[in-house]
Chain A
Amino acid sequence: MATFFGINLFALSGQLLVGLINGSFYALLSLGLAIIFGLLKIINFAQGAMYMLGAFFAWMALNYMGINYWAALILVPIVIGCIAILIERFLVRPIAGEDHLYSLLLTFGIALVLQGLFTHLFGSSGLPYKIPAELTGGTKLPFMYLPNYRAWIIVISLVVCGSTWWVIEKTKLGAYLRAGTENPQLMQGFGINVPLITTLTFGFGVALAGFAGVLAAPVYSVSPDMGSNILIVVFAIVVIGGMGSIGGAILTGLLMGVIEGLTKYFYPEASATVIFLVMVIVLLIKPAGLFGKEA
């Protein structure tokens, strides 16, 4: 067994890999939250439920309609994005002028309803979803065995997060988003349909959660509470990264996954709480978050 100053490299790199995979999901989910918070100033508590919905839709598509993983990876986020657009248009927008607490309670309610519905329909034990045939097997690396599907998760979520960052920070559409975040009224005055952009942004942010759900289906069991379990951690990550910072949400997501993985190796008892510990420290030292702008 490969050891280095008493560190078991095989076990350590295994935990690092698990950390990176968790981090990939954290990054996708917190990126969606950050985008939605930036433009709508809504803390979307339903983001976890939409992630769960993504996994269930992938499972249902495969088992009821024979739609395979690859098609689901494209179709499910689109369907979930459309559901989100309906939610924004008919539930969120009517309370847009009210205190933010209302939208928080609304999305929390939506999350509970969805979670309850799927517990009722499928039970809480979890459903299996097979890894697609193209991605079974793995690669032997010097210190570890890297399953292909896990490598795929890391690569594709980096690609999706990276392109989202690029669109928001480097394109004209992204400039509309950033400016709309800062001063929506003036953007309207320039002739830009801000309500439309807001709706589409909400749809996209939630679709990211749906995408993460499909991606997660083969590695985590598809269960109604998978969303609520991950959401609390993701909120901590958004707070650490800084509310509304796009790049911050992605980097912090990955980083916290890795920190969690390292903790699992060095001091497993703390692995479930280490992210909250980081959150407390960051809030004490830099209340706006690592990448957030001071208000």
Chain B
Amino acid sequence: MSSTGEKLRISDLHAYYGESHILHGIDMTIMQGELVTLLGRNGAGRSTTLKAIMNMVGRRTGKININGNETIGMPAHKIAHLGVGYCPEDRGIFSSLNVEENLMLPPNVRSDGMSVEEIYEYFPNLAERRYSQGTRLSGGEQQMLAMARILRTGANVLLLDEITEGLAPVIVQKLAEVLVMLKERGLTVLLVEQNFRFAAPIADRHYVMEHGHIVEEVQKHELEAKTELLNTYLGV
């Protein structure tokens, strides 16, 4: 059994798309209230790690414990109900639904999510455009909507895939504020991020991935000492 405070424990996770073996034995643990990033180059297996947690890959083996429940044999639609919110890299805004329908779409998975009023207060743009088609929003607004959507459900373990990708600095700044707010609320976040300068100040820990392996774990206070090493892994 997991000890209290442990929200996500992954051991020896392998994942496959058809014949290709993508993840080669991932191990990681995330404690309640932590914000942890997955760094690495494109194709290192970071997005696949999130998808494997959601049971969205072809096949997976190993152990994934979420909020104290073993989920490796669980059907995909049951995983969210353990308190998991997933924001895909393409944001997953539905074009056949308007903004409000998109916001209200995912079922509540826990009882203490943000209310719609709170969300509209926090993201006034969404309130203004609530009857617009979801995909007519700007990229930044769509990203806010994708975040707001899972905050409404009460999910307390958030898996966020490249949420700053292609967005203007002012939006990225707003997203950083959102993440800090989530941390203050005690939510647990696993963030796949390309933008290291965005992630470094707000994250507690970083895992570095390469070729489907975790090759390095960096604590916040080690960042300066390991900058050189990170640069070689990330190729910046």
The interface of chain A, by Cβ under 8 A from chain B, is: 172, 175-176, 178-179, 181-183, 185-186, 188-194
Contact = CB atoms under 8 A, between A and B. Distances in A.
A191 B82 CA distance: 9
B77 A191 contact: yes
Chain A binding surface, main DSSP class:
helix
A167 to B, nearest CB: 14
Given A189-B54, A189-B56, A182 B95 contact: yes
A192 B94 contact: no
Q: List the 9 shortest-distance A-B pairs measured between CB atoms, nearest first.
A: A191-B80, A190-B106, A188-B76, A178-B96, A186-B92, A193-B77, A179-B94, A189-B86, A188-B77
Contact of A181 (B75, B88, B96): B96
B92 A183 contact: yes
B96 A192 contact: no
Given A185-B56, A186-B88, A191 B97 contact: no
The secondary-structure label for the interface of chain B is loop
A183 B92 CA distance: 8
Contacts of B105: 175-176, 179, 190
B13 interface: no
Interface size for chain B: under 10, 10 to 19, 20 to 34, or 35 or more residues? 20 to 34
Interface string B70-114: 000001111111000010100010111100010011110100000
A97 to B, nearest CB: 10
Contacts of A179: 94, 96-97, 105
Contacts of B109: 191
B96 A194 contact: no
Nearest to A38: B96
A183 B105 CA distance: 13
Given A175-B101, A175-B105, A179-B105, A189 B80 contact: yes
A189 B107 CA distance: 11
A189 B78 CA distance: 8
8 contacts: A181-B96, A185-B56, A186-B88, A188-B76, A188-B77, A189-B54, A191-B79, A191-B81
Given A179-B94, A183-B92, A172 B81 contact: no
A172 B104 contact: yes
